[in-house]
Chain A
Amino acid sequence: MTHSTSRRNFLKGAGTLTAGSLLPMSLIELAFADISENFTFAYISDSHIQHIKGREFVRNWDQGLKRAVAETNLLNPKPDFVLYGGDIAQLGTKPEIDHGLELLSPLRYKVYYALGEHDYYLDLGEYWEREIGPQYYSFDHKGVHFVVLNSILTYEDWIKKWPTAEERMAVMAGLDNPKGSPFMVGEAQREWLRKDLEKVNPYRPIVVLSHSPLQKLFRNWNFWTEDAEEIRQILHRFHKVTVIYGHVHQIQYNQIGNTSFHAAMATAWPWPYPSSYAQAQNYMPKLTVPMNRADPFFERDATGWQLINIHSGNVDMHYTLYDNTNRVVAFNERSGRPLDLAYQASANQIPPQKHF
């Protein structure tokens, strides 16, 4: 850890010598590799912009996205770009996607978007694709190969069985709706991924952006990707793979084989949320599973955005927790897995899942 001290001091010195850093020092992590190869990016996800009527949108969700955008714009040093993890919209409508993109438009960085099920199941991604771009793609940045997947596809039979697009969207929008269907990347996209990665050197770090976890955590809530094992097979030959996903609205991290998994917070609301959360009409999605969680006075509680630092091809996630202590989940070289820098006491650990 001696490197960390010198790196920290270096950054501190640099901060005071130049314009003064807008980045709290706690957000900057050490680097072991060539410093010039390090970079950061911000990650914003799950804004669930919800149209009420006319020009009216749910204030709470608007405010969460506005805050994330405004704070990301204050970052100094600047992140290289922003990833958006999906679910701009709540019910996939044009007004929702338009309004969400409008709220994201003040971002002073390039934004790469992933598609969430709330963006997709009304028109199967047509409007999103028109406004934003392809549903899956890849790009390279400073030696890292980024892959953006549409991981929220599902079985064709399920997609076709609904009398209306609105009904299909509404069912998929319910977190614990038993009529839902498991997410997947699907065969066509897996084939594309295989081809995309063919030319990539196995020592090059891979970062995958998906909306669903690319793990199998909890099927009922679609904290799940049906073809996680197949994707793992495709990524198997790479030495360092990181999957960053949205959807779960909470901090999660895991290591399976060569792959680190990191979840992002939502800007809208945290899962789980309390059944007691009811005062004036608040548009919180109705949840049929009761949650053991106190009423958060602060509606931004456990929501936010994250700064991601890449060093040596692994990522450190920096979670800004409003009215709370910030958290950092960083790749630990010794144990070979991501660890929360604050919460590592073994007695407090839940054994990680080692299977898919």
Chain B
Amino acid sequence: MKKPSLGLLALTVVLGGIVQAAPPLGLPPVPIPADNPQTPAKVALGEKLFHDKRFSSTGEIACANCHEAAKAFTDSPKQVSTGVQGLTGTRNAPTVVNAAYMESMFWDGREPDLEHQSLQPFVNPVEGGLADHGPILEIVRSDPDYVAAFEEVFGKTGEAITMEEVSKAIASFERTIVAGNSPFDRWHFGDDEAAMSEQQKRGFDIFMTKGRCVSCHTIEQTHALFTDSEFHNVGVGINQIQDEVPPLAQAFLKAKAEGANVDKSVLTDPKVSELGRFAVTDDLSTVGAIKTPTLRNVAETAPYMHDGSLETLRDVVVHYNLGGKSEESQRVNPYLSGGIRPLDLSEQEIDDLVAFMEALTSPEYAKP
């Protein structure tokens, strides 16, 4: 079942009207929305926007502050991200690497795609801190570099430039940030027996069987995204506020019905944050459910989980081994996903699993 041959990977494919490099080993082709085709000029514009600190109330915060290339596009080792004036949110910055494949954005999936995701942090009080998108539009409509770039990419100037164009360019840039070709990929899809250590191979075996990891961190025949793009309550954060869920849920729904912004609520109220997917769906079977993150490059992005509450990969495995709690004394919340149960892993097996996850680092993000 090892595939495909390296010869195939050298090919390029035509996608969305432009020539695109074939995806790296272990990844499928990047899905490109029909209404936002990739062009080199658009990608370059997106990269510039991604790094522009002027798009914040203090002129200090760009997307790249929390999604830094040198840190696998996270802000590791921060537990939660820091926005304007040192304000902190409630969630750990997820990597942009391979976000191009995600079926929803943010830990609770509150935005459907990259085009909608990037609009939120600019105007979140604990991130970019802007009251609205006005200041961004002022800059991109007047800054000569942007004026030229928007005209070239979208054929638009002045008032015709809106946040739609801004976010499309950022999304196009983000779709180029894909990374596979990890030791695991070279071993599993590339037939290179020497690419992973014996311990990592044992860890893979546990990943597929006793560890039950693969049920959510999926591996397909020809590629591996290590996520099912679903939402699961795994007992992180929600365990600590479980007894407060009924009043919290009621109060949140009431506020939402009265017009409260979900993006602001979940990033500024730690308890509301722990309601997880419920804050988006209002569906009581999704209380505390959080999106499955990819595991690619995970060794480079500590700390872990949506709230950054677990410091090491070993802590994460121990959490799952205990059946959805980080300490023996903790009480598992009643809304826990049925997929989470004590695993009975030995210390050796836990170490093996951690070693396996260290084999998921792409060369461009590996620490020297």
Contact = CB atoms under 8 A, between A and B. Distances in A.
B241 interface: no
Contacts of A299: 338-339, 341
Interface string A294-321: 0011111101000000000000000010
A345 interface: no
A297 B215 contact: yes
Given A59-B323, A59-B342, A63-B336, A21 B250 contact: no
A322 B334 contact: no
Contacts of A303: 338
Contacts of B343: 280
Given A16-B257, A20-B253, A74-B287, A323 B282 contact: no
Which residue of B230, B332, B338 has the most chain A CB atoms within 10 A of its CB atom? Answer: B338
B338 A322 contact: yes
Given A71-B335, A300-B338, A20 B282 contact: yes
B103 to A, nearest CB: 16
A66 interface: yes
Contacts of A67: 334-336
Main secondary structure of the interface of B (DSSP, over half): loop
Contacts of B337: 298, 300, 322-323
B333 to A, nearest CB: 8
A73 B287 CA distance: 13
Nearest to B209: A279
B303 to A, nearest CB: 27
Contact of B256 (A18, A20, A70, A73): A20
Contacts of A16: 257
A49 interface: no
Given A63-B332, A67-B336, A22 B253 contact: yes
A279 B245 contact: no
B335 A19 contact: no
Which of under 10, 10 to 19, 20 to 34, or 35 or more describes the interface residues of B? 20 to 34
B344 interface: yes
A352 interface: no
B212 A297 contact: yes
Which of under 10, 10 to 19, 20 to 34, or 35 or more describes the interface residues of A? 20 to 34
B218 to A, nearest CB: 11
Contacts of A320: 285
Contacts, number: 80
Main secondary structure of the interface of A (DSSP, over half): loop
Contact of A76 (B250, B256, B285): B250
A280 B335 contact: no
A69 interface: yes
Nearest to A296: B338
A23 to B, nearest CB: 8
B282 A22 contact: yes
Which residue of A20, A73, A299 has the most chain B CB atoms within 10 A of its CB atom? Answer: A20
A54 interface: no
B282 A21 contact: yes
A296 B283 CA distance: 22
Contacts of B335: 67, 70-71
Interface string B200-243: 00000000001010010000000000000010000000000000
Interface in A53-78: 59-60, 63, 66-67, 69-71, 73-76
B131 interface: no
Interface string A261-280: 00000000000000000011
B257 A15 contact: yes
Contacts of B19: none
Given A297-B212, A320-B285, A74 B338 contact: no
Given A24-B282, A63-B332, A280-B343, A301 B253 contact: no
Nearest to B231: A323
Contacts of B284: 22-24, 71, 74-75
Contacts of B334: 63, 66-67, 69-71
Interface in B161-210: 210
A135 B245 CA distance: 35
Contacts of A300: 337-338
A322 B343 CA distance: 21
A297 B254 contact: no
Interface in B136-182: none
B44 interface: no
23 contacts: A17-B257, A19-B253, A19-B254, A19-B257, A21-B282, A22-B250, A24-B284, A59-B323, A59-B342, A60-B341, A63-B332, A66-B334, A67-B336, A70-B245, A70-B334, A70-B335, A71-B284, A74-B287, A280-B343, A296-B338, A322-B337, A322-B338, A323-B338
Query: 7 smallest A-B Cβ distances: which pairs?
Result: A300-B338, A20-B253, A298-B338, A70-B334, A20-B257, A66-B334, A297-B215
Interface of B: 210, 212, 215, 230, 245-246, 249-250, 253-254, 256-257, 282-285, 287, 323, 332, 334-339, 341-344
Given A69-B334, A300-B338, 10 more contacts: A19-B250, A22-B253, A70-B245, A71-B287, A73-B246, A74-B246, A76-B250, A76-B253, A320-B285, A323-B339
